Amino acid sequence: MSTERFKLLLCLGCGFSYDEALGLPEHGIAPGTRWADIPDDWVCPDCGTPKHMFEMVVIGYAPGGPELARTA
Amino acid sequence: MSNSFIIRNAERGHDMIKSDGLRSSYIAGHPDGFVTRASSFNFHEYQGGRPGFGPIRVFGDEIFHGAGCGYNMHPHHNFVICAFVFAGELTHINTAGAGMVDRLQAGDYYVFSAGSGGKHSELSVTPEDMHAIYLWLLPEQLYLPPTYHRAHFDFRRRRNEIVQLVGDDSGALPIAQDLRVSRLMADASRSFSYRLRTTSHGVYVFAREGSVRCGDVTLGRRDSTGIWNVDAINIEVLEDDADVMIVETIMTDDENIKKWEREHAGH
Ligand SMILES: [Fe+2]
Ligand SMILES: [Zn+2]
């Protein structure tokens, strides 16, 4: 696995987050899956916004945030 | 040296979204309801413009046309959403925490921080059209507990002064970001100075009504300017009943925005 830092992306339609470290196991994406490896036709599971309209962000989690993100 | 940009009214993204077909699950008020939206920043299909300002991603004035018009229930996370109502009545419903139903009229405004998640609906249930400005921004931290706060701006008593509506002043609504929203309703020939917190902050000035001179730029109705790397700005009112929104924010180091600026350098 690459040693590059895991990225965090936010859906600009609704604020749903994709964290490479967490993946989206409930949507069939394993933890550690890089954003680049997600198909281009993938859309936000909450609002349907296309992948290219996610924005990479550098924002920390509130306490307990990663657990909430995993089940969001 | 200061940096700035100007967005004229006509340069904003102008959308008209009808409640029909697939859109009727998103836009309420089928079959004749429709929302008009003028967006300062790049949002949804409006892809040509500046992507944002600091943590701000949406600044738009919207009108809900027809009783029952608005946005049906849909989910959010993380975004902080503010609405400032200018005419008609906005019914805001959200499912965060214990749930909330609120009715807002001219001068009322709210700050809804979606945080760890909540659905909301925005509706106009009265006969007159509802006019509001919507502001969306990224929070300081992700998955905070959701919050909703509301207040009222008394434009009869607070004339000819810059009044902080959202931010860290006492009396302003709290927000989970280093950002302040102020409003100025003022008469012609008055002049106001707005001092920024630090030179790492920037200010976005939107002339909702009337016209003002901001630095060496004249803003007409619905024109706006973003200014940063300055200590203070001056706003000179050129027309009676000017109504100006002033958003001061920390200028986050944002690669998306910088990339856009590089690609549009000199324009
Ligand atoms: Fe929404
Ligand atoms: Zn989304």
Query: Which of B39, B256, B12 is closest to A54 using CA atoms?
Result: B256
Residue B260 pLDDT grade (very low, low, confident, very high; cuts 50, 70, 90): confident
The token pair at B238 is 């050129």
Helix (H, G, I), strand (E, B) or coil at B174: coil
Look at residue A66 in the predicted model and tell me its pLDDT: 92
Non-local (6+) Cβ contacts of B10 within 8 A are none
Query: Which of B208, B202, B154 is closest to B180 using CA atoms?
Result: B202
Q: How far is CA A52 from the centre of its chain?
A: 12
Nearest by CB to residue B141, choosing from A8, A14, A65, is A65
What span, in angstroms and rounded, lies between the C-alpha atoms of B90 and B188?
Answer: 30
Q: What is the pLDDT of residues A19-69, one digit of tens each?
A: 999 999 989 999 999 999 999 999 999 999 999 999 999 999 999 999 999
Residue B253 pLDDT grade (very low, low, confident, very high; cuts 50, 70, 90): confident
Give which of A59, A70, A71 to mutate to test B binding, by max B Cβ within 10 Å. Answer: A59
DSSP letter assigned to residue B44: T
Q: How far is CA B184 from CA B8, B90, B232, B243, in A?
A: 19, 22, 16, 6
Kindly report the average pLDDT of chain B as a whole number.
Answer: 94
Closest residue in B to A53 (Cα–Cα):
B44
What number is the ipTM of this complex?
Answer: 0.93
The verdict on A31 touching B (C-beta cutoff 8 Å) is: no
- Looking at all shown ligands, the one closest to residue B118's CA atom is 1
The verdict on A12 touching B (C-beta cutoff 8 Å) is: yes
How many A from CA of B119 to the centre of ligand 2?
12
Is B55 within 8 Å of B109 (Cβ atoms)?
A: no
- Looking at all shown ligands, the one closest to residue A72's CA atom is 2
Q: What is the pLDDT of residues B74-131, one digit of tens each?
A: 999 999 999 999 999 999 999 988 899 999 999 999 999 999 999 999 999 999 999 9
Q: Which residue has tokens 């989690």? A: A61
Is B103 within 8 Å of B91 (Cβ atoms)?
A: yes
- Give the gap in angstroms from C-alpha B196 to the nearest C-alpha of chain A: 23
Helix (H, G, I), strand (E, B) or coil at B258: helix
Q: Which residues on chain B are in Cβ contact (under 8 Å) with A56?
A: 255-256
Give the mean pLDDT of B256-266.
78
More confident residue, B267 or B116: B116
The verdict on B25 touching A (C-beta cutoff 8 Å) is: no
Question: From the CB of residue B168, how many other CB atoms can be counted at a distance below 10 Å?
Answer: 12
- Give the gap in angstroms from C-alpha B100 to the nearest C-alpha of chain A: 19
**Confidence check: pLDDT of B178 > 60:** yes
How many Cβ pairs within 8 Å bridge chains A and B?
A: 65
Q: Which residue has tokens 């608005």? A: B70
What span, in angstroms and rounded, lies between the C-alpha atoms of B98 and B100?
Answer: 7
Give which of A8, A12, A35 to mutate to test B binding, by max B Cβ within 10 Å. Answer: A12
Look at residue B125 in the predicted model and tell me its pLDDT: 97
Question: Would the CB atoms of A14 and B76 count as touching at under 8 Å?
Answer: yes
Residue B262 pLDDT grade (very low, low, confident, very high; cuts 50, 70, 90): confident
Q: What is the pLDDT of residues B49-69, one digit of tens each?
A: 899 999 999 999 999 999 999
Residue B44 pLDDT grade (very low, low, confident, very high; cuts 50, 70, 90): low
What span, in angstroms and rounded, lies between the C-alpha atoms of B62 and B244?
Answer: 16
Question: From the CB of residue B48, how many other CB atoms can be counted at a distance below 10 Å?
Answer: 9
Q: How many CA atoms lie within 13 A of B177 on its CB side?
A: 30
Q: Which residues on chain A are in Cβ contact (under 8 Å) with B144?
A: 62, 65
- Give the gap in angstroms from C-alpha B79 to the nearest C-alpha of chain A: 6
- Looking at all shown ligands, the one closest to residue B119's CA atom is 1
Contacts 24+ apart (CB under 8 A), A16-24: A16/A44, A16/A45, A16/A46, A16/A47, A16/A72, A16/B75, A16/B77, A16/B78, A17/A69, A17/A72, A17/B77, A17/B78, A17/B142, A18/A54, A19/A66, A19/A69, A22/A66, A22/A69, A22/A70
Helix (H, G, I), strand (E, B) or coil at B110: strand
Give which of B78, B95, B136, B254 to mutate to test A binding, by max A Cβ within 10 Å. Answer: B78
